[in-house]
Structure 1
């Protein structure tokens, strides 16, 4: 009994010692695995910095290498085209054997098979490695997306590898996949953020540019023009160096828009802006004015108005030469939409410090000078002088008074008869507008019509005149007086109204007046400005039934070739030719030729300004149909013209 116990005790002790050793080893491996797992936080890196996939894979490999005895390892990531690309290699391993082996596994489909296993798989390393080498494959994936493949090379039987280590491998790669996913999302977010920032910056620049530049021409606009002028005034120190403010706009630009359309007007403005930029911002070109292109600012202030700043100007003569070249470069024929358009411009100049110390004053004074240039005939420039402010102020006051006068019905019509030399009857009345100024009394049209024309008030005033004429026709009919027609003057600006025909037709239909009772008079110079457009408008008015007359004939230099295209009914000989007949030989010859020409064209002739019997007898001999003038009657208010028409001895 004692012998048997002695023989078995050493075996039990050995077993217990082996068991203890095994458990201690397992315990160590367990703690080692726990330690490795605890260190996996390094895989995710610092969330406050840019995520680097190489850093993630390096941290991943550091964890894996602590649990598996790898001789070589590679980490392959999947790109957008589902191709596996080597992203990280175990340090110190640079031979191509691993990459060649992976290529072979991909071609064989082993990679695809390993992906679906979702756990470590072991395959023979193949001919590229020595005998006994094996590869451990493990997919790198989250629960929703495959990020890549881990490939580890081990010499000897990988089955002898620690099972705990292989389990930890799965956990590490699973966490690594999420870290890569997070990095990819972070990178995408950063890319989107950078893209959004670039878009925002670009849009901010575009908005700033739109705020400070004209969209049609790309030139600085009024906002930037004023800002630069203020900056230049703040920087100025040298008293003998001047700053010139130039305002320029096109003469009668509205004609282009009215006749060819706003698209043509825009094309013309853009072309002029390009020409000015190429000419006056060219370094070689501006040397002649002792200027630098950087000292010149060209802006489009709106519509057809441009503003130019010249800094470091040492001579007013150079400013004058600069502006003269500006006018000459603009004032020429331009081709717009297959049409030849002749354009002129006017400019006003103010100089700092002589004409103002602040931007508003300099701009206001340059504007006054430009207005003066237009008053003097256009297509020229004018320097500001102190006297211009008072004249501009008077015009501004009168403009405001005209607007109020139209609203308060301060206008009135006087009528001057047109008498037939054949029977002595009144054939027509010409309506002439008068203004009952609240302080100055009755105003002659010569005092306010030009300003109404320049400011556009004439358009509303013209419609008022037609309405009053229609009302007076109805009043005459109620009094038992029926006249063949009433004559109304159309100014150049009214004639260019796009909706002239529609507006006038609407007013006549409103009062039930036939267009045949209205004769529209246009000066010869007005219709000769753009013959093609004038003929078109005349045709429209003629088809509606209006009578048409050419006023002040003989002053507009029209030719018979032009005149024959117009569907007109009568010519009115300007009073300047009639006043000295029959004693002045030249005027007598002109009036005789006009009457003969009109008769050859089948047109009625009206002679204006007839004041004495010699003129009357001369016109009778020429067989002139109608006369108008003080010889028979001055322009009369409505009540007086009624008395004139009803007088039995008239």
Structure 2
């Protein structure tokens, strides 16, 4: 499929050059010097087009982009004329050219459109296809459309070409993205649009759609001008001729070639398409009574090819998952040589996504293929590619796990560059005496469990151990959360004492879960589970909203200057977090919101965290480093981030009066923080001696059971009332 696409691309370029040369010879495309005298270098052509048509042209916050946009800019770069580019919805773009508000638009040149437009020399070809929801891919050709609703962009080529009998089934779309969204939302069963743009939009907006038909309507692309606008048409033809000869067109085309080529269908999609063709082919063979011998030969060959396709990965030619499981199950159950296989290995190319981003998708494909060739060794009897750079294979008994990892992690020699694959590996020792219903699936599950542990702990490889298994109790706890969400959550408040003002005037918000069967749960029990499940942003927003609500109500009757909330580093990276916080603190008068973030949480994406915290600091929201001194980051983070406070961990505070080392650590930390213009809060203060010692060392704010335990909002209100 890839070879055919590249061949068609080369033929297309040759055809374009040939047509332009012929046009120049016969006077269709005239050289620049034959333009009218008023068409000098100061002339300007106003281009328009669709704002939702990647990779050809699209509009975002950074401006307009795409193959057509760059092609138009090449005209200006080569000095043919000045340009103006404005993108709109497709119907509006067509209207502007017809009304004279724009000069030219790139579109499919057809006889029906020639009544309104004059066309330049064609410079590209596109094809259309049918796109449907992935679970409803039933229409595979135009002729197969019956009563399905058809999403079509208003003014698009599909509108002109659809048979009259299907017109009543059209659902009009404003643009190419809207056409696909109508199908994804169930307002239409299928969309007919250009293949390249549709595939890009499906991937960009994560739409659950697939291409269900082979390409059809292969048509030329050209610049269209208003009917009778010969001046602009001549300018465009001359400019096209010039950039083809000078190589400018080829430069633009090569730059966009990776995005203009049709993506290869997966082996499953190809099999779906070819199955229908096969049925037709077999019917024709039976109809014309081909000789039995020839028919059998062809059938045997096709069956072998079909079996190979069904059992092998199309990228690496290794076994796919189903075939791998089937083959290894058969071996394990028969086990004629029980000592031959010792290891079951799952390995992942961890830096595959980084290679794709830094180089190209094709480079990542080559990396996967080279790694597959490496493990295609006699030492590895069964091997499979499970997809996305994840491999499974078995190893013979004379290799150790260390030797296996060393072998698979050495640099790979590729066509243009040498890349060191970053490999994570999970290993299971095969025990043929262990009787399992589906031994391969269980070995695979254990190996993946080990691999998950390796990646989460930033290691290279590990042998599977039962301790890696997820706790069933934790899984049930997470299930309870997904059912009840924050319904049983309670936000407690623990007052904080200000040494300078000699009074209680702030509090920290602390989360608790009143579980219906397990009772009161502390955050350490359930927060890590929620973080791993990716649901922490929802909890954090609930806590911030509730804390601000409490602070507003307390501030009406009591003197409270600050409310502290614990957040994670991942919360800072969440899109929309800053906007949510700024909207929530509206109306929070005379009370400052402070985010407490663990020291280790700031290490990842420090640049993004710095921008977020600086934005919040400008709006009066301060940042405190929680559990300071217990993490792995260096003191440089105190200068990198706009930190207003460090919070001494109870590990040091609890030993302040009994351990000289803890006293020295606390004393030096307070001195360092004050020299940097920061305040210091100590948590875990439980006795008067520790309180007096912290005051003597210059600690600014103190929190602990000596003053109050974390309490409900009602109890905190009573506490403030008694204190006052």
User: Shorter-chain TM-score: what band?
Assistant: 0.5 to 0.7
Alignment match, 1:291: 379
Question: Structure 1: how far apart are the matches of 2:359 and 2:517?
Answer: 47
Match of 2:518 in 1: 440
Q: Does 1:208 align with 2:267?
A: yes
Give secondary structure in 1 for the equivalent of 2:514.
strand
TM-fit CA distance, 1:368 = 3.2
Paired with 1:211 and 1:231, the residues of 2 have a C-alpha distance of: 24
Matches within 5 A, 1:260-339: 278=370, 281-282=373-374, 291-292=379-380, 295-301=382-388, 306-314=389-397, 318-319=400-401, 321-323=403-405
The alignment partner of 1:365 has SS state of helix
Write the deviation string for residues 566-590 of structure 1: whole angstroms up to 9, x where unpaired: 2121111122121111331211111
Contiguous gaps of at least 5 residues in structure 2 = 1-213, 219-261, 272-308
Matched, 1:535 2:610: yes
- Deviations, residues 506-560 of structure 1 (Å, cap 9, x unaligned): 4445xx4369631111111111334333222211222233111111111235444
1:291 and 1:396 map into 2 onto residues whose CA distance is 38
1:211/1:314 Cα in 2 relative to 1: closer, same or farther (>3 Å)? farther
* 1:234 match: 330
Write the distance in 1 (CA, Å) between the matches of 2:347 and 2:617: 39
Contact conserved, 1:244 with 1:352, CA < 8 A, in 2?
no
Residues 385, 473 of structure 1: alpha-carbon distance in 2 compared, 3 angstrom cutoff: same
Match of 1:489 in 2: 566
More helix by share: 1
SS at match of 2:631: coil
* Residue 394 of structure 1, aligned match among 456, 473, 476: 473
2:442 maps to which residue?
361
Q: Which string of whole-angstrom CA distances, capped at 9 and with x for unpartnered residues, describes residues 436-461 of structure 1?
A: 11101001111112222222122211
1:411 aligns with 2:489: yes
Aligned counterpart in structure 2 of residue 379 of structure 1, from 450, 459, 474 = 459
228 and 451 in structure 1: CA distance in 2 versus 1, 3 angstrom threshold: same
Alpha-carbon distance, 1:307 to partner: 3.0
Q: CA deviation at 1:266?
A: 8.0
Show the 5 A alignment for 1:632-647.
632-647=707-722
- Note the C-alpha offset of 1:631: 1.5
Shift of 1:343: 8.0
Count of residues paired in the alignment:
418
Deviation at 1:328, TM superposition (A): 9.1
Please give the TM-score of this superposition, normalised by the length of structure 1.
0.55
Query: Displacement, 1:609?
Result: 1.4
Unaligned ranges ≥5, structure 1: 1-194, 336-340
Superposed CA RMSD: 4.4
Residues 100-111 of structure 1 aligned to structure 2 (within 5 Å): none
**Whole-Å separation in 1 of the counterparts to 2:634 and 2:263:** 59
SS in 2 for 1:449: helix
User: Highest Rg: 1 or 2?
Assistant: 1
1:424 CA drift (Å): 2.7
**2: CA distance between counterparts of 1:570 and 1:321?**
49
Instruction: Report how far residue 399 of structure 1 moved.
Output: 1.8
Q: What is the aligned partner in structure 1 of residue 57 from structure 2? A: none
Choose the corresponding residue for 1:452, options 523, 530, 547: 530
Closer, same or farther in 2 for the Cα pair 1:559/1:218, shift >3 Å? farther
SS of match in other structure, 2:485: helix
Q: Distance in 2 between matches of 1:637 and 1:473?
A: 13
Secondary structure of the structure 2 residue equivalent to 1:634: coil
Quick check: 1:553 aligned with 2:635?
no
C-alpha contact (below 8 Å) 1:245/1:308 kept by paired residues: no
The change in CA–CA distance for 1:648 and 1:572 in structure 2 (over 3 A counts) is closer
Q: Note if contact 1:520-1:547 (Cα within 8 Å) is conserved in structure 2.
A: yes
Which residue in 2 is equivalent to 1:615?
690
Give 1:326 deviation, angstroms.
5.8
Query: SS of 1:636's equivalent?
Result: coil
Residue equivalent to 1:88: none
CA distance in 2, matches of 1:196, 1:476: 66
Is contact 2:342–2:395 with CA below 8 Å preserved after alignment?
yes
Measured at CA, do residues 459 and 544 of structure 1 come closer, stay the same or move farther in structure 2, by a change above 3 Å? same
Whether the aligned pair in 1 keeps the contact of 2:650 and 2:685 (CA below 8 Å) is: yes
Check conservation: 2:344, 2:447, Cα contact below 8 A: yes
Measure the CA separation in 1 of the matches of 2:317 and 2:612.
36
Query: Is the contact between residue 347 and residue 369 of structure 1 (CA under 8 Å) also seen in structure 2?
Result: yes
Q: Hey, what does 2:666 align to over in structure 1?
A: 591
Q: CA deviation at 1:279?
A: 5.3
Q: Distance in 2 between matches of 1:546 and 1:196?
A: 56
Contact 1:350 1:366 in 2 (8 A): no
Aligned pair in 2 of structure 1 residues 568, 388: CA closer, same or farther (>3 Å)?
Answer: closer
User: In 2, Cα distance between the equivalents of 1:421 and 1:379?
Assistant: 45
SS of the aligned residue for 2:512 comes to: strand
Equivalent pair of 2:343/2:427 in contact (CA under 8 Å): no
Q: Distance in 2 between matches of 1:371 and 1:273?
A: 23
How far off is 1:275 after superposition? 5.4
Is 2:496–2:701's contact at 8 Å kept on the other side of the alignment?
yes
Distance 2:319 2:371 in 1: 23
Partner of 1:470: 548
- Please give the TM-score of this superposition, normalised by the length of structure 2: 0.50
- Work out the CA distance in 1 between the residues paired with 2:349 and 2:720: 47
C-alpha displacement of 1:483: 1.8
Instruction: For 2:510 and 2:361, locate their aligned partners in 1 and report how far apart those are by CA, in whole Å.
Output: 38
Distance 1:581 1:522, change over 3 A: same
